[in-house]
Structure 1
Amino acid sequence: MATTATSPPPILPISTTSPPTSSPLSLLISRLTSSLRRSLTLARPWPELLDPSSFSPRPDSLPSAIHRLRRNLSYFRLNYSLFLLFTLSLSLLSHPFSLILLLSLLSAWCFLYIFRPADSPPLVLLRRQFSSREVALILSGFSFFLVFFTSLGSLIIHSLLVGLAIVCVHGALRVPEDLFLDEQEAAAGSVGGGSANASGLLSFLGAAAASATANSASHV
């Protein structure tokens, strides 16, 4: 009796798709969002910062005012940083032209230099090729012109000076006796520059700087 050989079942093709890689710009935005969210979480309670019972009309002397300011800066350093960022954002939103200039400048740096792949062809403008170093020099000159010869630089400086003045007045008028701040933590905050700020609010700047350094090194 003849036996018929059964053929094996057909193997269905399996398509393997690699997960989509996020672009450096989206990675920077997500890191900025997470840093801001973490900073808002690590900040001191805002009612403690604005408690009316903790203010005095004026300090007894200049050393007393400096002592108050140093302790308040060490304790509320992240709150003060967020306040300065809020002051700068409010000033830029109230001047749309300066805001457009700043966004255009940041976009030019991101798309023409920082996030430009190392293996990309040279930038061609008006039938002339520009190397990565030439693009960096042009963007630096353009940035210098926008900051020092337009209203953008004066707006940023004035908004930061106003914010710093408010911070100094608040720190000098608020009595820090209710702040249980360890002296070792205060010394670490004043000498080290505030590790909470570095890990929270502005940590994304380190990633951007590292990306720019790696990009320039790969082009050289």
Structure 2
Amino acid sequence: MRARNKPWADDYLKEHDEVVVQAPFDNKNKWQDFFGNDQPIHVEIGTGKGQFIVGMAEQFPEVNFIGIEVAKSIIVSAVQKSLDSGQKNIRLINVNAEDLRDLFGENEIDKIYLNFSDPWPKSRHEKRRLTYHTFLEQYQHVLKHDGEIVFKTDNRGLFEYSLVSFSKFGMELDEVLLDLHAYEDPKNVMTEYEEKFSAKGQSIHRCRAHFPHRN
């Protein structure tokens, strides 16, 4: 369901520059300087209302978290959650990041989270899936050599497609869970969608993968 338009969202995002990065493309290759520390940087693509990234920031204060969300009417909820948490290791970006290489430099990011991405089930929309090989090329460029992608979804078709896509690209699979909640990972932070789907009895799938070392 599409979020209701919030005409005040633009002003709200500008008012909270302590959380919302106002000129994110200017920080390429300088994100650790932006945070003012040398902590690792984790990026969530499609932050939504922010439950995951705020929960992760609270659990891992030694990590800097950047959330990317294109919808203003949705990211305002993430901003509010971040402000309420008081965490200083969260920054949010309201852009359509068609190419992560415009935002981040080579080897600048330590981990990427893809949570409940749009499955784009029709074959003609394959190129829009965030695990399509053109996106994997972007992730490989911005991730450090030991960087990792963590992918969660309730959509079995997208999960199977992504495993094949990762493998075809030469990635190494570190974890494949068809029922994450049966595994009972104590460090798992649920997204809003994850809570909703799991409450209905749907299995949540998770994969962790990394790129082989480049010469």
TM-score range, shorter chain: under 0.3
- Structure with higher strand content: 2
Q: Which has the higher contact order (CA 8 A, sep 6+)?
A: 1
Q: Which has the larger radius of gyration?
A: 1
